[in-house]
Chains A and B, each alone.
Chain A
Amino acid sequence: QKEVEQNSGPLSVPEGAIASLNCTYSDRGSQSFFWYRQYSGKSPELIMFIYSNGDKEDGRFTAQLNKASQYVSLLIRDSQPSDSATYLCAVNFGNEKLTFGTGTRLTIIP
């Protein structure tokens, strides 16, 4: 069974601090990894994708991938109240489909 695990939260972070979201997956051979943000009542929107070990930065967002540990994370720097949402980790296990985690609910406290 190919699985993606996330801590459901809620995760509360003060405004301006760094929010750290974590995700583990079951298949060591997985190739591509995605982070989506979903506001309540809305559909997911793509934040970042990462394929290679290491860090990938885009503005305030940094994705970190460690294939040996089967672990991918998302860091949000200088957190803003508008970052409050559910963050979904998704993994492609090599069959064109994405498997989603249950999501982590993030709340930024002003």
Chain B
Amino acid sequence: GAVVSQHPSRVICKSGTSVKIECRSLDFQATTMFWYRQFPKKSLMLMATSNEGSKATYEQGVEKDKFLINHASLTLSTLTVTSAHPEDSSFYICSARDPSGSKDTQYFGPGTRLTVL
């Protein structure tokens, strides 16, 4: 159980374009999802907490107008990187919390590797 999927797994885009990443909980309903970013050989950095039906909560230093998060249903959250630039190239990973499982446990999606040319 507790399977989280992400799509796409890899994307290459030109500078200035927008990229949408989807995160789905496949076998449970997730009222809360999280978006992380990880640069090579660095640890996970939480970008934002996504709550179904309400606005996302962004971590300090993360531009909410650049990283748009929508959590329209209990199984889907999306992250849109707007006007992407090469410095946005990173590994983006979502996680979801299964409310029926052990408290606070987060299950991660497989990640999306974004390369901005």
Give the bracket for the number of chain A residues in contact with chain B: 20 to 34
The CA-CA distance from A72 to B70 in the complex, in Å, is 35
Q: Which of A75-110 contact B (CB under 8 A)?
A: 88, 90, 92, 96-98, 100-103
A17 at the interface (CB under 8 A from B): no
Stretch of B61-69, B71-79, B80-88, B107-115 at the chain-chain interface: B107-115
* Contact digits for A27-55, partner B, Cβ 8 Å, 1 yes 0 no: 00001101010000011111001000000
Seen from chain A, the residues whose Cβ lies within 8 Å of a Cβ on chain B are 31-32, 34, 36, 42-46, 49, 88, 90, 92, 96-98, 100-103
The CA-CA distance from A97 to B104 in the complex, in Å, is 8
Q: How far is the CB of A11 from chain B (nearest CB, A)?
A: 16
Q: How far is the CB of A102 from chain B (nearest CB, A)?
A: 4
Prevailing SS type, chain A contact patch: strand
Contacts of A101 in B (CB 8 A): 43
Contacts of A49 in B (CB 8 A): 102, 104-105
A45 in contact with B105 (CB, 8 Å): no
- Interface residue count on the B side (C-beta < 8 Å): 19
A92 in contact with B104 (CB, 8 Å): yes
Chain A residue nearest to B32 (CB atoms) is: A96
Among B42, B49, B93, B104, contact of A43 (Cβ-Cβ < 8 Å): B93
The CA-CA distance from A97 to B51 in the complex, in Å, is 12
Further pairs besides A46-B107, A97-B34, A98-B46: 8, Cβ < 8 Å: A32-B104, A34-B104, A43-B93, A43-B109, A44-B108, A88-B44, A97-B49, A98-B106
Chain A residue nearest to B44 (CB atoms) is: A100
B105 in contact with A43 (CB, 8 Å): no
A103 in contact with B43 (CB, 8 Å): yes
